[in-house]
Each structure stands twice: as structure tokens, then as C-alpha cells.
Structure 1
Amino acid sequence: MINLCKQLSEIKVIPVIAIKDATKAVKLAEILIDNGLPCAEVTFRTEDAALAMKNMRDAFPSMLIGAGTVLNKKQVDLAIDAGVDFIVSPGLNPTIVKYCQQRGIEIIPGVNNPSLVEEAMELGLKTLKFFPAEPSGGVNMLKALTAVYPVTFMPTGGVTPKNIHDYLSIPKVFACGGTWMVPNDLIDNNQWDELASLVKGVSSILR
């Protein structure tokens, strides 16, 4: 997990993607890589998610790929078969955490309160997703959690160009998940130039 955190912290912003058509995955991955975000969290919110992950992995073996919205063991298996580097879940499900540990895949589960953080720590986890970030109290809540617990966080859910600096300024935040640079309508309509512009804009935001 130390190596994964280091990789994610170097990228800082992790695109969270819901892709409906797996045939577009390679082009999307190419745009992410060429414009400074060589990473993707492909969520299991669409039927083509697993195939999209596999297509990205086959085309770009060194790209950092995560499977998001993982809710059950079958999705864990599908993600591993697709060649992902890590698993992300919206909540903390001990059964899924233990299954990922058994299968040797890193998991970053979602938490948003002290009790869940402590439960995650009991499972041996120190790298967590703060989700949904803004509805759960945003920066102030996250500062309160990081003041108490020896864990690091990836806030996701409501993170935008307007507040990302506030999140990344918290020492125990290693990266943020975001969707604004990969809107579904641009992917659906093959608006690759517009997507490239949004992705490229992330690096300017982080300067």
C-alpha cells in the first residue's frame, strides 16, 4: 500500500469514470495519459466496466488502474481478472475488505466518521477513502478525523476545482478523486478534444 499511496500522491487527482462503452476505454486512457493524469478509477456503475478496465490494461500496461464502486466478491474477481492495481469501495464492508486481502489486492474503502475509521484500522487499513466528502462535512470533518487517527485519506464526492486545494492542503490527504474532468456526456459523444482540455486543465489547477 505504501507504493500505491506514493503513486497516487504523485498524480494527486484520480479521475473517477463511469464508462458505458468499453470500446472507448483505450481512447479515454490515451487522453488521460497524454494530458498528465496516467490513472483511472473505473466504477462498476455500468455493465461495460470490467471490459473497459481490461481494454485499458491491455493497451497501457503501466497505467495505474483502479476499480471503483466495488460492492461484492464477484466484482472483486472481475476487477482482478481485468488487471487492476487497486480496489475502491464507497463504504466499509469487512467481508469485501477481507476478501481483497485474501486475494492480495489493495483496497481503499470509503468511510466518513470516527467509528468507521476505527473499524477500518481494526482490519489493518491505514489508507481510506473519505466519501462522500462534501455531504459528510467536507474539509472541516476531514481535518477533525486526521487530527485523531494515524491514517491517510483520498476524499471523493463533491471535490471540484474550487475546493481541491483545500483538501490537498491537509497533510494526511494523499490524493483526491474527481469526476469533473471526465463527464459522461463528453465520453458518450466522443468529444475527445473537449475531454483533453479538461484533463489538461487539472495540471494548471494544481500549480
Structure 2
Amino acid sequence: MIYVYQVNGQVLSAPWVEVFFTRATPGGAIPSWGIDGHILAQDGETVVNTFSLAVSVRGSSKLLSEYWEFIRCYMEEDCVEDLAELVALCPPVENRRESFTFGLQYLMKMSSRLEWIFLPVMLPLDLLAGVARWVAMQTSAIPQWPQAVQDACVTEPDDPVNVSAANNPRHLWRYVLANEAREEYEARYARQTAANNRIRAKLAERYGKKTA
């Protein structure tokens, strides 16, 4: 079952198999791509409601396909524990608003220390964007799922999967600036690579072909 918290405070619900997902783009010189889910009427053609997944990719849609495969595997495949290993960073927003510091860290996140060369230019822009982001967070309501949804999604006390901000990298600024200790980086890379390989093996076994 899918539950969607809408900006008007209402909650949509629909079985996963009954939602039609498709790529979506507003166009433009450098188009950005997202994923929309359409809830259809009983005729299977009329769209009665639409929601978007939290992703926006500019240029190539390859990353969009990878994002979709993560969601699809979570909903359809038996590999949740391995998927959890692929998540390196979670916003600390459970029952609270995002802080200015984390918002800035999220905006500044780098993939390589080579990006340091752009820091003098990007830092002022990130600070401005961080202030705007913080204002948006402070003036937004904290989503609260209805009790019926919470009751339907109760987590077992002994559930081995825990994806939350509690598992974020210990030295968050070093992670954001691509400056972690080699041991920390290599340990996380090894875990993620092993998890990715296990997922690929499961999909290959189920579908009888090599997965991309």
C-alpha cells in the first residue's frame, strides 16, 4: 500500500500495483526529470489523482532510472536490508523541522575534493540558498500521519532495518566536504558495494538475466 501526504494535509492511499508510474518533465532548455504516480479510475484510463516522488534530475535521465529501481525493489523485491545499506544520509527531521546547519550541509555536499576549487564561488550562493531553505522549513508545517496510517505501518521491535538520521556519518561536515578518513570511506564503500552485488544477484536469479 502507498500513502501520500499531500500539501493540503489530506492523505492519499492506493495499492502499489494499481498506481501507474511514468517519467515527467516540465520541458525547458535543460529539462529536469521526475517520476509521477497516477491513481486511475476503475476504467484503468482516467486519472483521478497524481503525486510525485521526491526526485528531480537535470540532463541525463540515467540517475532517474537508478532512483526508480531503488523504489521498485523496495516495494517488489526481497532485498530491503541490502537497500538500507545504500542509504548514507537521512535528514534529521523526525517530528521536527530541518535545521539551518543540516540544510546548508545538504546543499554543499560534494562528491570529490576536486570540488573544493569551486568553494569560494559556491559558498556565498549556498549560504543564500540555505537561508531561503531555512525560512521555507520554519514556515512549513511538520507532517503528521493520521493514526490509521501509523497503525497500518507499525514497525516490529526487532526489525533489523533502521534507516534514520541516527545512522548518519559521525563526522557529518567531513562527509559533506568529501574529506572523511580513508578507513571510514572505504568501510562504507565496501558495505554499499557488497549490498549492491547481493541485490544484482537476487534480481538475476529471479529474472534470469544480468541486471544493469
* Bigger Rg over Cα: 2
TM-score by length of 2: 0.29
Return the TM-score normalized by structure 1.
0.29
* Higher RCO (CA 8 Å, separation ≥ 6 residues): 1
